[in-house]
Amino acid sequence: METFSYKGESLFCEKVNLDEVARSKGTPLYVYSYRSIVESYDRIARAFAQVRPLICYSLKANSNLSLLRILSQRGAGADIVSAGELYKALRAGFSSEKIVFAGVGKREEEIEYALREKILMFNVESASELRVIDELSRRLNREARISFRVNPDVDPKTHHYITTGKEENKFGLDFAEAKRLYEKARQLRRVKLVGIHMHIGSQITSSLPYLEALEKVAGLVEELREEGISLEYLDIGGGFGIGYEEGTSSLEVEDLARKTVPIVQKMRMKLILEPGRYIIGPAGVLVSRVLYKKKTKKKTFLIVDAGMNDLIRPSLYGAYHRIKKIKRPDEMTSFEVVDVVGPVCESGDFFAQERALPEIEEGEYLAIMDAGAYGFSMSSSYNSRPRAAEVLVREDKWWTIRERESLEDLIKGEHTLEEKDGISCQLIPFTKMEGCGNDFIVIDNRSNLIQNRAEFARRVCARRTGIGADGLLLVENSKEADFKMRTFNPDGTEPDMCGNGARCIARFAYLKGIAKQNSSFWTPSGKIVYQVEGEDVKIKMKDPSDLKPAIKLNIGGKLYEGHFINTGVPHLVLFVEEVEKAPLKNLAPLMRYHQLFQPEGTNVDFVEIERDVLKVRTYERGVEGETLGCGTGAVASSLISSLIFGLASPVKVRMRGGRLLVYFQKRGDIFTDVFLEGKAKVVYEGYIPSSLMGEGT
């Protein structure tokens, strides 16, 4: 009796109505028949009964624990290819003396695991693998039972992706190399030679390639015997094909047995078979619902809710799977040529192309046949699609043997890095700018990417371990103007205003489209109006305050005369003969912390007047050293020079880093309409590396 057949109006699996299961469990859904699995297994066992083979079910075809248990309870062994499969095999009750371990890339820990579990044998595929097995067997003092997998170079006439026994394939050893390794392995203390292995490919529907390969292998076994190497197990692999297309049939295992058993008997070896697909393939279907029917000029698409992530065989191998309606098509039904496709965003996501199927409507269920092998086991959650549920049917009962994955499952094991982990997933772009030799890191922080500003400033401004700058300038949101400027010194302190910084940020804001060419922005010291013209930026400064001319400072018993003014930040201006000799290193720091200026301290400017040009050097608070230029210092020096020596607006200022112009109106000792003008240049742009982000930025 057919496993999947129509009864009444619907397609059944054994005695279970697939329509009902689909409605109850949802789709996409894998459904397997218990009977089919057992029948296929028994058929192989019967065919080869004369030699009582060990049938090692190949887990890669489908390793659902409930399905494995059916086979382990029937006495099957297991063919595994990874630690994961070994784990599942043991969990499902396969005894370790019935487990064979194949694969070209076994890892040390996998070999170790298998050695500890005392499996029947490793099917070794290279000289290097033999070396590793030898080493581990000695280190763990365990016997390693091995076979060599040979490559008989025969063509199994199947899809080239699943051909494994040809010379050009990565699998197995050519006979000469195999012989050499048998010789070598017999000398290894903890390695025991127990057999020989071949597996020439998958989905092979004729006995002939097996026969051809077996005859070759028999010759090799004979040669080895002559050299005193006798082997117990002959493992001829799996690969037994099934009839996917209408009118085709599976490998006739009775025929295969008839042809091979006499050879095996002559070889006097125990036979191992490794079928996967043959046992589980026809036992399973993938049930899917038609979501939409979409007609284009060229085609009719049935868009179903299963995708290539659920069953990849058509996409990967161009494999053919019969597709049946679950609702029985009536006799009169007309056929329609359709493409059955999934929802995955790939044109390769299809189950059938240009296939004539009985007319199907939206909402109907379809069964994709022969999907039991390499269906679920090759499935993924590509496109973040939870993997399908699996159901086992026996007679008129069915059980869920795997729940559908949940959305929660999709993120299992993932860690969401958050700002507290010291990472900002967003890369922060910065612009390095320079105004009169004052260099700044300028960042658009309107989205508040940088929160721990002081710490961030310390990191990025550091000359040797950071990007290096005299200051960090942040563009932030403001209610009062186009944006707000926040300035941070390399030590993390936040001055109210920075003249060169203001010119740089104005040009930055204009270049980045944050503000207009002539506009204004806000600073903690008030509003700044600016004009940008090429590299030149002119800003209107706050009117100065706190003017205190001719202050006497007593430092170490010596008197110095300076002039104090606040031009947004505090400045002490001292006139000197030669600015190049000004005591910036020794004296300036003492003045900067002088009790007269506590608690906020002051910047210190040394000024030499050379005709109508001021030569200025500034010691900056926060930087705690000389900078190449200082905008508020240039303004302070100009205003004080005008007050004391009568210099007229605009005053030309030359600092080490460049030139500035200071404009102002003066009435008595009242200054208004103060402007600072000079170049603001872009030096380079980049992204802040995560190593500089620090915690909480």
Residues with a catalytic annotation lie at 345
Given the complex with ligand LLP, which of 237 and 501 has the nearer CB atom? 237
Distance in angstroms (rounded) separating the CA atoms of residues 607 and 627: 14
Segment interacting with ligand LLP, rule: CB under 6 A, options 55-63, 345-353, 497-505, 666-674: 55-63
| Three-class secondary structure of residue 580 per DSSP | helix
Place of tokens 């920075």: 498
Closer by beta carbon to ligand LLP, 96 or else 169 = 169
Contact by Cβ (8 Å): 509, 442? no
CB contact at 8 A, 236 and 201: no
Q: DSSP letters of 418-441?
A: -GGGT--SSPEEEEEEEETTEEEE
Q: Shortest Cβ distance from residue 241 to ligand LLP (Å)?
A: 7
- Judged by beta carbon, residue 103 or residue 570, the one nearer ligand LLP is 103
Site string for ligand LLP, 329-368 (x = CB under 6 A): ----------------------------------------
Beta bridge partners of 674: none
Q: Which of 33, 36, 203, 431 binds ligand LLP (CB under 6 A)?
A: 203
Smallest Cα–Cα separation from 305: which of 356, 346, 340, 353? 340
Span from 53-61, 341-349, 435-443, 519-527 in contact with ligand LLP (CB under 6 A)? 53-61
Q: For ligand LLP, what does the binding mask look like between residues 267 and 306, x meaning CB under 6 A?
A: -------xxxxx----------------------------
Binding of ligand LLP at residue 79 (CB under 6 A)? Answer: yes
609-616's contacts with Cβ under 8 Å and 24+ in sequence apart are 609/575, 609/641, 609/645, 609/647, 612/647, 612/651, 612/652, 613/652, 613/653, 613/654, 614/638, 614/641, 614/647, 614/651, 614/652, 614/653, 614/654, 615/579, 615/654, 615/655, 616/579, 616/653, 616/654, 616/655
- Classified as helix, coil or strand, 24 is helix
Site for ligand LLP contains 199 (CB under 6 A): yes
Site membership for ligand LLP, residue 47 (CB under 6 A): no
Contact, 637 vs 605, CB < 8 A?
A: yes
How many Å apart are CA 201 and CA 141, to the nearest integer? 35
Within 230-249, the residues that bind ligand LLP by CB under 6 A are 237-240
Residues in the chain: 697
658 binds ligand LLP (CB under 6 A): no
Q: Which is nearer to ligand LLP, 311 or 628 (CB)?
A: 311
Q: Which two tokens stand for residue 327?
A: 């609702």
> Which residue among 313, 486, 542, 621 contacts ligand LLP (CB under 6 A)?
313
What is d(CA 34, CA 64) in angstroms, rounded to the nearest whole number?
13
Which residue is listed with tokens 């025991």? 192
Q: Is 58 in the site for ligand LLP (CB under 6 A)?
A: yes
In angstroms, give the least distance from the CB of 238 to ligand LLP: 3
Q: Which stretch binds ligand LLP (CB under 6 A): 56-64, 176-184, 386-394, 499-507?
A: 56-64
Which CB sits closer to ligand LLP, 238 or 282? 238
What are φ and ψ of residue 62, in 5° steps? -175, 120
State which residue, 41 or 564, has the beta carbon closest to ligand LLP: 41
Window 362-391: residues binding ligand LLP (CB under 6 A): 373-374
Binding mask 497-526 for ligand LLP (x = CB under 6 A): ------------------------------
DSSP code string of 450-492: ---HHHHHHHHH-TTTSS--SEEEEEE--SSSS-EEEEE-TTS
| 106 binds ligand LLP, rule: CB under 6 A | no
Q: Least distance in Å: CB of 314 to ligand LLP?
A: 10
Q: How many residues bind ligand LLP (CB under 6 A)?
A: 22
Phi and psi at 346, nearest 5°, equal -150, 140
Q: How far is CA 633 from the centre of its chain?
A: 51
CB of 176 to ligand LLP, least distance (A): 22
CB nearer ligand LLP, residue 71 or residue 360: 71
- Within residues 120-179, the interface with ligand LLP by CB under 6 A covers 162
- Closest CB 111 distance from ligand LLP, rounded Å: 16
- Token readout for 659 is 């030139």
Q: Which phi and psi angles does 441 have, rounded to 5°?
A: -100, 120
Two structure tokens written together for 363: 């909402």
If the CB atoms of residues 278 and 575 are measured against ligand LLP, the closer one turns out to be 278
Q: From the CB of 377, what's the least distance to ligand LLP, in Å?
A: 8
Among 424, 490, 417, CA closest to 696: 424
- Tell me whether the omega of the peptide bond preceding residue 650 falls within 30 degrees of 0, making it cis: yes
**CB 149 → ligand LLP: shortest distance, Å?**
7
Minimum Å gap between C-beta 242 and ligand LLP is 9
Q: How far is the CB of 319 from ligand LLP (least distance, A)?
A: 6
Does residue 85 belong to the site contacting ligand LLP (CB under 6 A)? no
Q: Is 397 exposed, middle or buried (0-12, 13-18, 19+ CB in 10 A)?
A: exposed
**Cβ-based nearer residue to ligand LLP, 205 or 520:** 205
Query: Which of 18, 102 has the CB closer to ligand LLP?
Result: 102
Q: Which of 202, 205, 519, 602 binds ligand LLP (CB under 6 A)?
A: 202
Give the binding site for ligand LLP (CB under 6 A): 58, 60-61, 79, 102, 162, 199, 202-203, 237-240, 274-278, 313, 317, 373-374
